[in-house]
Amino acid sequence: MQIVIALLSGALFGAGLLVSGMVDTARVQGFLDIFGAWDPTLAFVLGGAILPMALAWRIGANRRTSLSGAPLPGPAARHIDARLIGGALVFGAGWGLAGFCPGPALASLGFGGWPGLVFLAAMVAGMALLPVLDRGWRGRRAA
Protein backbone atom coordinates (compact mmCIF):
# COMPACT_ATOMS: atom_id res chain seq x y z
CA MET A 1 0.00 0.00 0.00
CA GLN A 2 2.86 2.39 0.78
CA ILE A 3 4.19 2.00 -2.77
CA VAL A 4 0.79 2.91 -4.23
CA ILE A 5 0.55 5.98 -1.98
CA ALA A 6 4.10 7.00 -2.93
CA LEU A 7 3.29 6.55 -6.61
CA LEU A 8 0.10 8.60 -6.37
CA SER A 9 1.84 11.32 -4.33
CA GLY A 10 4.70 11.52 -6.82
CA ALA A 11 2.29 11.63 -9.74
CA LEU A 12 0.31 14.43 -8.08
CA PHE A 13 3.54 16.37 -7.41
CA GLY A 14 4.75 15.86 -10.99
CA ALA A 15 1.38 16.89 -12.40
CA GLY A 16 1.49 20.03 -10.27
CA LEU A 17 4.94 20.84 -11.64
CA LEU A 18 3.73 20.34 -15.19
CA VAL A 19 0.48 22.30 -14.83
CA SER A 20 2.22 25.20 -13.08
CA GLY A 21 4.98 25.34 -15.69
CA MET A 22 7.74 24.79 -13.14
CA VAL A 23 9.49 22.29 -15.40
CA ASP A 24 10.13 25.18 -17.80
CA THR A 25 13.71 26.23 -17.02
CA ALA A 26 13.22 29.66 -18.61
CA ARG A 27 10.35 30.37 -16.20
CA VAL A 28 12.40 29.32 -13.18
CA GLN A 29 15.39 31.37 -14.29
CA GLY A 30 13.03 34.31 -14.91
CA PHE A 31 11.87 34.05 -11.29
CA LEU A 32 15.47 34.08 -10.09
CA ASP A 33 16.34 37.11 -12.28
CA ILE A 34 15.14 39.70 -9.77
CA PHE A 35 17.16 42.54 -11.34
CA GLY A 36 16.16 41.76 -14.93
CA ALA A 37 13.00 40.44 -16.53
CA TRP A 38 11.56 39.05 -13.29
CA ASP A 39 8.77 36.46 -13.66
CA PRO A 40 6.75 36.22 -10.39
CA THR A 41 4.76 33.08 -11.32
CA LEU A 42 6.91 30.76 -9.20
CA ALA A 43 6.07 32.89 -6.15
CA PHE A 44 2.38 32.07 -6.70
CA VAL A 45 3.16 28.35 -7.05
CA LEU A 46 5.22 28.44 -3.85
CA GLY A 47 2.53 30.44 -2.09
CA GLY A 48 -0.11 27.98 -3.22
CA ALA A 49 1.91 25.14 -1.70
CA ILE A 50 2.12 26.77 1.73
CA LEU A 51 -1.52 26.28 2.75
CA PRO A 52 -1.78 22.50 2.21
CA MET A 53 1.68 21.98 3.68
CA ALA A 54 0.85 24.05 6.77
CA LEU A 55 -2.27 21.95 7.17
CA ALA A 56 -0.26 18.72 6.81
CA TRP A 57 2.29 19.89 9.41
CA ARG A 58 -0.49 20.79 11.82
CA ILE A 59 -2.20 17.42 11.42
CA GLY A 60 1.09 15.51 11.43
CA ALA A 61 2.38 17.19 14.59
CA ASN A 62 0.13 15.01 16.73
CA ARG A 63 0.58 11.76 14.78
CA ARG A 64 3.21 9.06 15.20
CA THR A 65 2.33 7.11 12.03
CA SER A 66 1.18 8.05 8.56
CA LEU A 67 -2.21 7.06 7.16
CA SER A 68 -0.55 3.99 5.65
CA GLY A 69 0.88 2.96 9.03
CA ALA A 70 4.50 3.93 8.34
CA PRO A 71 6.29 5.80 11.15
CA LEU A 72 6.58 9.55 10.68
CA PRO A 73 10.04 11.09 11.08
CA GLY A 74 10.76 13.33 14.04
CA PRO A 75 11.38 17.05 13.77
CA ALA A 76 14.23 18.21 11.57
CA ALA A 77 17.46 19.41 13.11
CA ARG A 78 17.41 23.14 13.83
CA HIS A 79 21.12 23.91 13.89
CA ILE A 80 22.74 25.83 11.05
CA ASP A 81 26.26 24.74 10.19
CA ALA A 82 28.76 25.10 7.35
CA ARG A 83 27.51 21.95 5.66
CA LEU A 84 23.92 23.26 5.52
CA ILE A 85 25.03 26.66 4.21
CA GLY A 86 27.38 25.09 1.65
CA GLY A 87 24.68 22.70 0.45
CA ALA A 88 22.17 25.54 0.13
CA LEU A 89 24.67 27.59 -1.89
CA VAL A 90 25.48 24.71 -4.24
CA PHE A 91 21.77 23.87 -4.65
CA GLY A 92 20.92 27.52 -5.34
CA ALA A 93 23.75 27.92 -7.84
CA GLY A 94 22.70 24.79 -9.70
CA TRP A 95 19.06 25.85 -9.66
CA GLY A 96 19.90 29.32 -10.94
CA LEU A 97 22.29 28.16 -13.64
CA ALA A 98 20.25 25.24 -14.95
CA GLY A 99 16.72 26.25 -13.97
CA PHE A 100 16.20 22.74 -12.59
CA CYS A 101 15.95 21.30 -9.12
CA PRO A 102 15.52 17.56 -8.47
CA GLY A 103 11.71 17.36 -8.74
CA PRO A 104 11.31 19.21 -12.03
CA ALA A 105 14.41 17.49 -13.42
CA LEU A 106 12.75 14.11 -12.94
CA ALA A 107 9.43 15.41 -14.23
CA SER A 108 11.09 16.77 -17.38
CA LEU A 109 12.64 13.44 -18.37
CA GLY A 110 9.62 12.60 -20.49
CA PHE A 111 9.85 15.71 -22.63
CA GLY A 112 12.84 17.81 -21.60
CA GLY A 113 15.37 16.36 -24.01
CA TRP A 114 19.10 16.30 -23.42
CA PRO A 115 19.39 19.30 -21.05
CA GLY A 116 17.26 17.49 -18.47
CA LEU A 117 19.30 14.32 -18.92
CA VAL A 118 22.58 16.20 -18.51
CA PHE A 119 21.31 17.88 -15.35
CA LEU A 120 20.04 14.59 -13.94
CA ALA A 121 23.36 12.84 -14.71
CA ALA A 122 25.29 15.66 -13.00
CA MET A 123 22.95 15.52 -10.01
CA VAL A 124 23.40 11.75 -9.64
CA ALA A 125 27.18 12.14 -10.02
CA GLY A 126 27.18 14.77 -7.27
CA MET A 127 25.15 12.48 -5.02
CA ALA A 128 27.63 9.66 -5.64
CA LEU A 129 30.62 11.95 -5.05
CA LEU A 130 29.32 13.44 -1.79
CA PRO A 131 30.18 10.46 0.46
CA VAL A 132 33.76 10.49 -0.87
CA LEU A 133 34.12 14.22 -0.30
CA ASP A 134 32.40 13.98 3.07
CA ARG A 135 34.84 11.29 4.29
CA GLY A 136 37.76 13.48 3.21
CA TRP A 137 36.26 16.53 4.95
CA ARG A 138 35.58 14.66 8.18
CA GLY A 139 39.06 13.10 8.09
CA ARG A 140 40.73 16.53 7.83
CA ARG A 141 38.63 17.94 10.66
CA ALA A 142 39.55 15.00 12.95
CA ALA A 143 43.29 15.44 12.30
| Amino acid (1-letter code) at residue 65 | T
Query: Which pLDDT score is estimated for 128?
Result: 92
Q: How many CB atoms lie within 10 A of CB 105?
A: 23
Q: Tell me the per-residue pLDDT of 61-91, one tens digit each, with 9 for 90 and over.
A: 888 887 778 888 777 778 888 888 988 898 8
Residue 117: pLDDT over 60: yes
Q: What is the pLDDT of residue 98?
A: 81
Q: Angle CA(7)–CA(13)–CA(16) in degrees, nearest 5?
A: 140
What's the pTM value of the predicted model, to 2 decimals? 0.61
Q: Which of 123, 84, 73 is closest to 103 using CA atoms?
A: 123
CA distances (Å), 88 to each of 71, 93, 94, in order? 28, 8, 10
Domain ranges (residues) in the chain = 2-142
- What are residue 71's DSSP bridge partners? 65
H/E run at residue 56: helix 41-60
φ and ψ at residue 38, rounded to 5 degrees: -65, 135
Do 75 and 60 contact (CB within 8 A), yes or no?
A: no
pLDDT over 80 at 46, yes or no: yes
Q: With 60 as the cut, is the pLDDT of residue 143 above it?
A: no
| Euclidean distance between CA atoms 90 and 61, whole angstroms | 31
